[in-house]
Structure 1
Amino acid sequence: MHTYQLLGVKFHAVTMEEALRIMEGYLEEDKPHLVVTVGPEMIMRAQQDEEFKRIVNEADLVVADGNGVLWAASRCGIKVPERVAGVELIEKFAELLSKRQSKDGLYLLGAAPGVAEKAGQKLQELYKDLPLVGVHDGFFKDEAKVVEEIKASGAKVIYAALGSPKQEKFIRQHSQEAGLRVGVGVGGSFDVISGLKKRAPQFFIKLRLEWLYRALAEPSRWRRILAVPKFMWLVIKEGRGAVTEWKEKGS
């Protein structure tokens, strides 16, 4: 598994199938693992939030969920095999969970009231043997109580849709206590899976303009979308040094 850094943020050059195989392996280990799906927006946030950057750089698996990552790598002569889209990754991992004999429980946390429940229903319609053990919306004040509920559910996997960087910080802070083995920050994926928001048409996806579709469909996202041109400017400014081999501290 090749590991690189993009503007100081780690990511792994893996295919979807490789990512799923790695995540399945985590289920066999009696310790928590953080999976991050990173794109230009998160990379730009990491430039301002050192704690978030540290969490991402210490994560077990960081996949390229953004065509901007592939574009930046290509400019620097590095080939990333494919984009690993976050929504598709968690749907495929849910399918994998439904086929496992061990029945590792899945917990859905986040989004607006009712959305996680609907996303869970949709996933169970797709994968009838999915061991969904609990859901909770993202509007809570008593974090300790939510962690206790997750622990009591017996979940081994959590999809946290709390928005970045909150979701990654939550997973990093509470996975050990909650008895989790795999935690994935999933952003707005529950909205898409539940049908609340439409998936980008194939036309936009093929042209790598999914971000533009989201901006047009959700005008409130324009402020966040502005991170993309800033990201591109930084990559161009850094030249071939924007993406390099990742080196662990002390190596």
Structure 2
Amino acid sequence: MQNPYALPSDGHPPQTQLLTDRAVFTEAYAVIPRGVMRDIVTSNLPFWSETRLWVLSRPLSGFAETFSQYIMEVAPGGGSDRPEPDPQAQGVLFVVSGQVALTLEGTDHTLAPGGYAYIPPSASWSVKNTGSVPARFHWIRKRYEAVEGIETPSAFVTSETDIAPYPMAGTDGKWATTRFVDPSDVRHDMHVNIVTFEPGAVIPFAETHVMEHGLYVLEGKAVYRLNRDWVEVEAGDYMWLRAFCPQACYAGGPGKFRYLLYKDVNRHMKLGRP
């Protein structure tokens, strides 16, 4: 069975390849195409063994400031017993290839492709690749914004295959969102969802809103409106949007267009200088 989730490329392009690419960084958005996620741009992390990662986004003053997003690649036998150094950080793991053994708050879980875990701040967790092939997963991190009188969210583990996509109104199901968290649950200050468009479906207006976004294209292709530009994107590309960047899309077909979406939600805007 073909893996339904896009993955970064291994190795390097040949010397004969043209340098021209679709990578762009503007005042309002960035596009990191799949072809630039190569070996030369990977990093390592303290207390992770047999592991490398691609850093897709990180807080930047004056741009997107709420989150970081990694694609982790853990070789067989690798992983970490001390994965998160920041006690205020919450996280989401979403597995796109291979298999990982996750121990979260004393409970063991096996996450295969489509597996999803929410990790609250100060949680006890570890992750290992107990399989025979490399495992890759997205790791999205955000410092939790605690509110007096509101509980911190609980840890949970699920899978995309266990959640029915929620159709957007007036679209006959051609635009749908797989929601891993109830949008009305104000304990959560971030959502990481999967958005799916059938071929030819659209976001029919330029969304312009306060939420920052990370969009990793899991499958398919589209033409995406980012600020003043229309940009072609495909499986494996990453889009990084600051607050109020206008956005819309046309799904290009022939198959579905799907992406993993981060956004910050459910909190007052901080007043005064940063």
TM over 0.5: no
Q: TM-score, normalised by structure 1?
A: 0.30
Q: Which of the two has greater helix per residue?
A: 1
